Structure 1
Amino acid sequence: MPKNKGKGGKNRKRGKNEADDEKRELIFKEDGQEYAQVLRMLGNGRCECMCIDGNKRLCHIRGKMHKKVWIAAGDIILVGLRDYQDDKADVILKYMSDEARLLKAYGELPENTRLNEGIVGDLEEDDDNLAEDYVEFEDEDIDRI
């Protein structure tokens, strides 16, 4: 049998993103770039985004970020606009939730932009009202089914 020359398999490669927890410098948009919020993920390294300038664009996730930086619906991203296609853009950077809050505080994002962190808090408040949505069955009803 050949001797194993590597240092590990798939699970070792998964644990390499430990340096992402460090604080990084906040990057602002330049000319040819725009802030956007992800509306939905389309697969194949693409997503549909609503840019701050009001246009809905099909965005392509660049290869350096693909399968390394996970993007979900509701995330704030920085996209590079294309000169030759106005309805398409390229994802350059994903902002973490604290960075997105800073952008909103600096006035880079409009005030009506909903950030992802508020969604979880809304669900916890509705727990009391969930009891009204359920239908209770008697044992006799289950036996008939």
Structure 2
Amino acid sequence: MPKNKGKGGKNRKRGKNEAERRQSASWCSRRNGQEYAQVTRMLGNGRCEAICVDGTRRLCHIRGKMHKKVWIAAGDIVLVGLRDYQDDKADVILKYMNDEARLLKAYGELPETLRLNEGVDVDGPEGEVEDSDYIQFEDEDIDKI
């Protein structure tokens, strides 16, 4: 029988939680040749489509260090590195957590029109209620209870 080398199984191949490590380090801000962007949709194969703060829609490639370790979804705020030779493509450098994205918006780095995933709206697009269990009470009804 072969001797156990002690390197572990499939769980060893998974990356450690980088969110815990990044809390102690200062989070990155935008530098020259970089831009903030919001992911509009995931395309698969390590690629996504994002709208940058400057208004350009770009095809972004998730770099190998983040691939299968940092999960990016539609609506997330990311830092992308722009390419000198291709204007319509960029590379995802960093994903911002929800609280970091709110801080960026508060500091004025992100535009006020950018909508963050802060919660689910109760009202639909025309103001109609989406949830069937939602009941709106009048002041008179509350007094009767």
Please state which band the TM-score falls in when normalised by the shorter chain: 0.7 to 0.9
Cα deviation, residue 123, structure 1: 5.4
Aligned to 1:9: 9
Q: Return 108-117 or 4-13, whichever deviates more.
A: 4-13
Aligned to 2:114: 113
Aligned to 1:39: 40
Structure 1 residues 37 and 5: CA distance shift in structure 2, 3 A: same
> Unaligned 5+ residue runs, structure 2?
135-145
Counterpart Cα distance in 2 of 1:128 and 1:74: 21
> Unaligned 5+ residue runs, structure 1?
133-145
CA RMSD in angstroms comes to 2.5
Counterpart Cα distance in 2 of 1:129 and 1:62: 39
Q: Is the 8 A contact 2:122 2:130 kept in 1?
A: no
Which 4+ residue blocks in structure 1 deviate beyond 6 angstroms?
none
* 1:70-127 residue CA offsets vs partner (Å, 9 max, x unmatched): 10000000000111110000001000111101000000000111111223xx259x98
Percent identity over the alignment? 74
Aligned to 1:67: 68
Structure 1 residues 61 and 103: CA distance shift in structure 2, 3 A: same
Aligned to 2:87: 86
* 1:2-36 residue CA offsets vs partner (Å, 9 max, x unmatched): 1221242112443732x522523131111111000
* 1:27-68 residue CA offsets vs partner (Å, 9 max, x unmatched): 111111100000000000000000000000000001111111
Cα deviation, residue 131, structure 1: 5.4
TM-score of the two chains, using structure 2 as the length reference: 0.79
**Aligned partner letter, 1:112:** T
Aligned length: 129
Cα deviation, residue 128, structure 1: 7.7
**Aligned partner letter, 1:85:** Q
Structure number with higher helix proportion? 1
SS at match of 2:119: helix
Aligned to 2:102: 101
Counterpart Cα distance in 2 of 1:16 and 1:63: 15
